[in-house]
Amino acid sequence: MASFTFAKVMMVLFSLLILLGGLTLLAMGIWASVDETSYLQILGPFSSQDMQHVNVGYFCIAIGALLMLLGLLGGCGAHKENKCLLLTFFSIILIIFIAEVASAVVALAYFSFAKGILKAWATPALQEDYGSNAVVTKLWNTTMTELNCCGFTNFTDFVDSKFAKENGGNLPPRCCHTKTFPCNPEEAKKSFIQGCSEQILESLKEHANVVGGVSAGIGILEIAALIVSMYLHCRMDKRVN
């Protein structure tokens, strides 16, 4: 009896945590959708991307609503000892857990090809959009300034680019030690400014470790919630019998 009561308390606690997480995401989603000005200021250089704030806002609202529903299902199921609610809670958590594991496997598989994937995106962006697209230009200027690098591979990413053609063959100032314009390919070659690829990948690894740690913690909570909900469901069968 004591173990059953303890399991009920744990189930209510798990449900409360899920409910609070859902409320937080829901509030963020509503803020993103309603207070457009403040949200776009937070986005900074990405704020000009069409309807991004709406997409993110709706996504947060949807996930927040789902988490709140899960929290209510788990809490009510444990409190009222309702097997149907507990089984529904278990099924949804199990589906989410399987989806997270599948996503993690795919992410790990693609991470080994991260450099190639990034290069496939970065090279065309530097060749065609740098200097003409405000978002791409600001993003790369910030990256090259903070990391003290030039291009993705090196200065050759800008050779024969749209930017170079519009500026008499000159490259961005960050590609030369002088950091002044004009910066021609010969001077850039002598400057030996490294590309940003390795530092970007290192930054991605650091962020991936953080995300992985958080995901692992969430996964442990999900497994615990699965075990407790199924335990309560099975014990209710015995109590009825």
Nearest to 74 by CA among 5, 7, 16: 16
Nearest to 122 by CA among 63, 224, 206, 195: 195
51: confidence class by pLDDT, cuts 50, 70, 90:
very low
pLDDT in tens, 82-138: 888 888 888 988 988 888 888 778 777 777 677 787 888 888 889 999 988 888 898
Question: Comparing 84 with 214, which gets the higher pLDDT?
Answer: 84
pLDDT for residue 236: 77
pLDDT in tens, 135-191: 889 889 988 988 889 999 999 999 989 999 999 999 998 899 877 778 889 988 888
Nearest to 127 by CA among 8, 204, 119, 84: 119
Q: Are 232 and 99 in contact (CB under 8 A)?
A: no
Burial degree of 58 (CB within 10 A; 0-12, 13-18, 19+): middle
Instruction: Determine the average pLDDT of the residues in 74-88.
Output: 86
Domain coordinates of the chain in residue numbers?
A: 2-80, 112-241
Q: Are 78 and 15 in contact (CB under 8 A)?
A: yes
Q: Are 25 and 56 in contact (CB under 8 A)?
A: no
Mean per-residue pLDDT over the chain, rounded: 80
For residue 36, pLDDT beyond 60:
no
The token pair at 36 is 């457009």
pLDDT for residue 162: 92
pLDDT for residue 157: 92
- How far is residue 56's CA from residue 30's CA, in Å, rounded to a whole number? 10
Place of tokens 């594991």: 101
Residue type, 163: F
For residue 216, pLDDT beyond 60:
yes
In this structure, which topology does domain 112-241 adopt according to CATH?
Answer: Cd81 Antigen, Extracellular Domain; Chain: A (1.10.1450)
Q: Quote the pTM value.
A: 0.60
Burial degree of 178 (CB within 10 A; 0-12, 13-18, 19+): exposed
pLDDT for residue 54: 47
